[in-house]
Copies of this chain bind each other. A is one copy, B any other.
Amino acid sequence: MGTRALRGVARATASFEIESHVFYLFTQILSRRNLALVDKLKPLGVSVPQWRILAVLQERAGCTMNELAGVTTIDRTTLTRAIDRMAETGLVARRGDAQDRRSVRLSLTAAGKDAFRRVLPRVVEQNERAMRGFSAAERADFRAQLHRMVRNLDPDYDHRNATWLAGRAAAIAENRRNRREAS
């Protein structure tokens, strides 16, 4: 850390107040939003971790458990339990080598995609509730600031996403080839 950064740390330490602490506010917001979301999703038979899995898999079909754990940041026990449950209820399909669990590829079934579409408006409602009164420009600025924070904490973030997206393009192309050969 440079001198300027160290001065920043000293100043912020001296003036620390929990109500101004950004990460405290993050947890305050997330916990209130998740609490509201649990109630909204219960009638649809989907938990908050399941929603997060649906949201990631609908954009990242074919990802492994490792990738899914990295992207959702759900702890492994909860994630494994949720995926087992979603496979049982027919929302998630697992493809690959049963001997090598790391190579198993996850994707949404038609029922899973349908569940995502049914859940999404409930989630978006909570987003809108949280961001009530924010103009379009304020929302865009706010998102840009969050992206800056992610990149500050994880310099490899964009690179990893790009690698993943390239992998996804290859997977889609392969799926198409397989379908052509099968028909």
The reply on A20 being an interface residue by CB < 8 A is: yes
The reply on A154 being an interface residue by CB < 8 A is: yes
How far is it, in angstroms, between the C-alpha of A13 and the C-alpha of B56 when the chains are bound?
A: 15
Please give the number of chain A residues whose Cβ is less than 8 angstroms from any Cβ of chain B in the complex: 58
Q: How many copies of this chain are found per oligomer?
A: 2
The reply on A73 being an interface residue by CB < 8 A is: yes
Establish whether residues B21 and A30, one from each chain, have CB atoms under 8 Å apart when the complex forms: no
How far is it, in angstroms, between the C-alpha of A124 and the C-alpha of B8 when the chains are bound?
A: 9
Establish whether residues B73 and A25, one from each chain, have CB atoms under 8 Å apart when the complex forms: no
Q: Taking chain A's interface residues, is the majority helix, strand, or loop, or is none over half, making it mixed?
A: helix
Question: Which residues on the B side are within 8 Å of A178 (C-beta)?
Answer: none
Question: Which residues on the B side are within 8 Å of A142 (C-beta)?
Answer: 22, 142, 145
- Interchain Cβ contacts under 8 Å between A and B, 15 examples: A1-B128, A8-B128, A12-B127, A13-B121, A18-B55, A23-B127, A24-B55, A28-B73, A28-B154, A29-B150, A30-B30, A33-B153, A130-B149, A131-B149, A141-B141
